[in-house]
């Protein structure tokens, strides 16, 4: 029975596997191609080639990805199915599913000055502004039960009546930009100075949460108040606001 949380008062029945006296439940390994994975998507794109100093690329992807607990392990895993005799428990969202993804990038390099003055052309032209906006749904995760697995195996420990990957982290919204100025020194030499900013809004990008939803006490599952609390806010691609400056000499 569940005590507290969104499942308070609900009960469920789960098959139990008896332990062998003096041995316990030992892991068995069987390698077979039984994992099923499905991916369906709709992709919309609007692009403009570089014309009159403007170029942009915009895309939106609506997708759905499900599988029966696909893993990316290099070697075999011990009892990765939730229940080796009932594969229905493992049907759920793929670990990398992002139902909505929108990416828009732009390059704007206008000629502000069209006169014949050398200094006007030198100071007002050669600028380039390149922003990129990314939005995507948060990664899915499972609400888990701490302690030994509910059916006394070495399989998964997510809440069985909710299923695998039934929760989702907050969406990711990111804005990067680059501003550069090119100075033409001679016919064959150019100097470009630039500034790049990543995560300009300094938004918190959530990549990890506390997924322990219930703790087991006999036949009662007690709700954990820290469930869903943020535990990780950075990755190799998305971090806190960062700004860098550079210069590039071309000849």
Q: Is 199:241 a contact under the CB 8 Å cutoff?
A: yes
Q: Is 156:195 a contact under the CB 8 Å cutoff?
A: no
Residue pLDDT, tens place only, 93-149: 999 999 999 999 999 999 888 877 777 777 888 899 999 999 999 999 999 998 767
User: Hey, where are the domains in the chain?
Assistant: 2-250
Main-chain phi, psi angles of 12, to 5 degrees: -155, 160
Residue pLDDT, tens place only, 1-35: 899 999 999 998 887 776 666 655 566 667 777 78
- Write the DSSP symbol of residue 208: E
Comparing CA positions, the residue from 82, 54, 55 lying closest to residue 69 is 82
First CA to last CA across the chain, in angstroms? 73
Q: How many CA atoms lie within 13 A of 68 on its CB side?
A: 11
The model carries a pTM of 0.83
Q: Is 2:11 a contact under the CB 8 Å cutoff?
A: yes
Residues 6+ apart with CB under 8 A from 244: 195, 196
Residue pLDDT, tens place only, 45-89: 999 999 999 999 999 999 999 998 887 777 766 667 788 778 888
């Amino acid at each position: 029975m569940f005590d507290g949380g969104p499942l308070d008062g609900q009960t469920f029945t789960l098959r139990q596997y008896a332990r062998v006296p003096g041995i316990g439940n030992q892991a068995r390994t069987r390698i077979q191609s039984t994992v099923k994975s499905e991916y369906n998507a709709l992709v919309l794109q609007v692009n403009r080639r570089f014309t009159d100093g403007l170029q942009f690329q915009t895309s939106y992807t609506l997708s759905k990805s499900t599988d029966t607990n696909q893993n990316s392990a290099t070697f075999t895993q011990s009892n990765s199915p939730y229940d080796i005799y009932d594969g229905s428990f493992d049907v759920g969202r793929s670990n990398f599913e992002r139902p909505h993804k929108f990416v828009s990038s732009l390059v704007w390099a206008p000629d502000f000055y069209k006169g014949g003055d050398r200094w006007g052309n030198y100071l007002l032209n050669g600028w380039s502004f390149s922003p990129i906006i990314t939005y995507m749904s948060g990664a899915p995760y499972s609400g888990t039960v701490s302690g030994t697995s509910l059916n006394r195996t070495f399989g998964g420990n997510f809440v069985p009546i909710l299923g695998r990957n039934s929760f989702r982290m907050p969406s990711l919204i990111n804005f990067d930009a680059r501003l550069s100025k090119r100075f033409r020194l001679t016919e064959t030499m150019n100097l470009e100075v630039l500034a790049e900013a990543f995560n300009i809004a300094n938004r918190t990008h959530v990549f990890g949460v506390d997924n322990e939803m219930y703790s087991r006490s006999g036949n009662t599952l007690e709700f954990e108040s820290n469930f869903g609390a943020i535990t990780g806010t950075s990755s190799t691609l998305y971090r806190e606001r960062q700004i860098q400056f550079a210069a590039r000499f071309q000849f």
